[in-house]
Amino acid sequence: MKAATRGGQKMFNLEGALQRIPQQRILCVGDVMLDDFVYGDVSRISPEAPTPVLKVSHNVVGIGGAGTVARNAAGLGAHCVFVGLIGDDEAGRSLIEEFASLGGLVEAKLVVDSARQTTRKVRFVSEHYSSHLIRADWETADPAGRHNEAAIIAHAREALSRVDAVVLSDFAKGVLTPRVVRAIIDHAGRLGIPVIVDPKGHDYSVYRGATLLTPNRLELAAAIHRPVGSDTEIAAAAAELAHAVGSDALLITRSEEGMTLHVEGHAPVHVAAHPVKVRDVSGAGDTVTTVMALLLAMKAPFEPAMRAANAAASVVVGKRGTATLTLAELRHRLLPAASLAPEEKIIFDWSVLDEHLASWRRQSLRIGFTNGCFDLVHRGHVRLLTEARAACDRLVVGLNSDLSTRRLKGDGRPINAAEARAEVLSAFEAVDLVVIFEQETPLELIKRVKPSILIKGADYRLEDVVGRKEVEAAGGDVILVDLVPGQSTTGLVRRSAQSAPRPLRSLKPAKS
């Protein structure tokens, strides 16, 4: 994975890292629970007590707690070995079924303790107000006994030989006892595997030696026994805690205020939260932990990993329930639109074009079409594309292939290959699709698109525009856009050749 340089230092290729997420394997050990979200509407107060009455419409049951890490990893296409503890009860059996439904991306090692109650959380949610009314918990939070600890450690140690990072997701329900935590951190350290901890409780000394801790602001305050509010206070508290527990870094999640990253030897970094409509924060911390683990598994620096995790959190808080995200969602939230445009806009297979056209027509959108070689994009092209898009709802640009361009323009053209020209066009906001065609004229493509409006430059006469008859016969229009004087690719190529420096004459000494 190549990296650019900035100030003599290598810049991490985050886009390339996102593409490699499906190749990563992580281990997650922690407190799994069964989540049950009961949705409905509230329209009255109970006559029996001053409490709202929820008229239930439906409920959604799924894996929660530490298991959300496994779900997020699978949603991103990565592999996860999950180790947890359940009871021999209906909720435990439901969890076994839920893990099985995740398919081959998640390998669940669930230790069953018949003396325990599987943790189950039922949340009653008003859909109209997008708010939780009440939560009911069933749980046994006692520490796992010696027998269960041994089984958890054995599963974890076996998995450590085939994963790239470890997540310890602590909900204080008894799985991550000091003995379990110590065994996993020490073994991972010997193997050089990063350990990411989503902590709980007040005593963080149990996590000594972990690579990264991800407390929220309230958990940070509880751990250092004083309130923290400002950026400065949070940064100082993070540095103090990181030093106390011997971790390389701390990532403080701050809800709508974003995140703060402390890395030993570096200045603190604060990032703002993405502006989104928050529907449900359940599981957002687990999403952050998952993405940090997957990026650190690739040896990513902490800061780009944090920025990816921040983007991931903004996706899941916009969904209902303990949500997960896909790799496509993460890439769309994190990367600039122009970097995603080529894969979304460039069409080689015309059957894919048909799908886009059918969707637009179902929405009664006006489809426009223009075409050209677009070999060296200049101001004239910009005007053509922007005015073309202003005349329609969706603009399809037909692009001559390399062979087609050569037939039209002669030897030495195109200067840029079709893929490069298509990528430049796709970066324009005015362009909705770029379709490469091999024919000498775009007539076959125009017949396929059936545009409502056909746009060309004013260097054409109306009667010479290819496709005019077909478009007008179907009730469409043809528009000619004024040219920008002095702007043409052929002219640019000619002027460039004329201004090229002449080769130096030979400086050999003359013969005597």
Active-site hit among 36, 286, 375, 432:
286
**Residue 137: active-site member:** no
Instruction: Give me the half-sphere count of Cα atoms (radius 13 Å) on the Cβ side of residue 490.
Output: 8
Please list, in sequence order, all residues whose beta carbon lies within 8 angstroms of the beta carbon of residue 328, skipping any fewer than 6 positions away: none
Strands 32-45 and 106-113, how do they pair? unpaired
Rounded to 10 degrees, the C-alpha dihedral 183/187/192/193 comes to: -60
Instruction: Tokens for 194, please give them.
Output: 């990063």
How many of the other CB atoms lie within 10 Å of CB of 312? Answer: 26
Under 8 Å between Cβ of 332 and 340: yes
Write down the residue that tokens 């350290």 correspond to.
Answer: 189
Per DSSP, helices labelled H in 257-301 are 284-297
Q: Please state the three-class secondary structure of 183-233 as a single string.
A: HHHHHHHHHCCCEEEECCCCCHHHHCCCCEECCEHHHHHHHHCCCCCCHHH
Please list, in sequence order, all residues whose beta carbon lies within 8 angstroms of the beta carbon of residue 505, skipping any fewer than 6 positions away: none
Among 32, 137, 142, 141, CA closest to 95:
32
Among 4, 13, 16, CA closest to 301:
13
What's the CA gap between 483 and 380, in Å, rounded? Answer: 6
What's the CA gap between 108 and 100, in Å, rounded? Answer: 8
With H, G, I as helix, E, B as strand and everything else as coil, classify residue 276.
Answer: coil
Q: Catalytic amino acids?
A: 286
